[in-house]
Amino acid sequence: MTVPNRLPPDRSGRALTPVAASPLYLREDEIRRGIELLYFGYTNMVRGADAILAGEGLGRAHHRALYFIARRPGLPVGELLRLLAITKQSLSRVLTELQSRDLVEQRVGTSDRRQRLLRLTAAGAALETRLFAELETSMAAAYGEAGQAAVTGFWAVLIGLIPAGDRGLVESLRQV
């Protein structure tokens, strides 16, 4: 894997220089570095989306629901609950708010009338598109700097963080 020599400087003017992982990559300091990079990377990636959400009076739970409903129109409420790994009460609060704002609609399942299927409304799709554009900008820039091999390795690490029993659910999102 080739690693670029330098990334753009941060606000202080210092450039963060990627270094190759040590052959002792399972040591505590290497693991802590990975955790720190995930934390700061995620925080910076969602900053623009968080600003849009704040302007709408919404939070990250709303964003995650909008994102997954956009990925799988007709997503059953039970699957969204499993994807988000939150309580039924929390999901109910999020969905109630999204529905009251005309961002999400819920329909009865065609094969199982007990099922509640979720779709974004036109307004919900427009908001999710704006939120995704903010994330896409950050991810595309990072992917471009890192290169294909690094992205593949990054995905492998992230997959490794997902419990084996949940990987099929995550993989099902790719089959859209």
pLDDT digits (tens, 9 = 90+) for 3-58: 444 455 566 666 666 677 778 778 999 999 999 999 999 999 999 999 999 999 99
The DSSP secondary-structure symbol of 166 reads: G
H helix or E strand, kind and range, residue 107: strand 104-108
pTM of the full structure: 0.83
Q: How many whole angstroms separate alpha carbon 26 and alpha carbon 152?
A: 19
Q: How many whole angstroms separate alpha carbon 53 and alpha carbon 115?
A: 29
Local structure of 111: helix, strand or coil = coil
For 137: left if phi > 0, alpha if psi spans -120 to 50, otherwise beta; the answer is alpha
Which domains does the chain show, CATH number per domain? 28-137 (1.10.10.10)
Res 9: pLDDT: 58
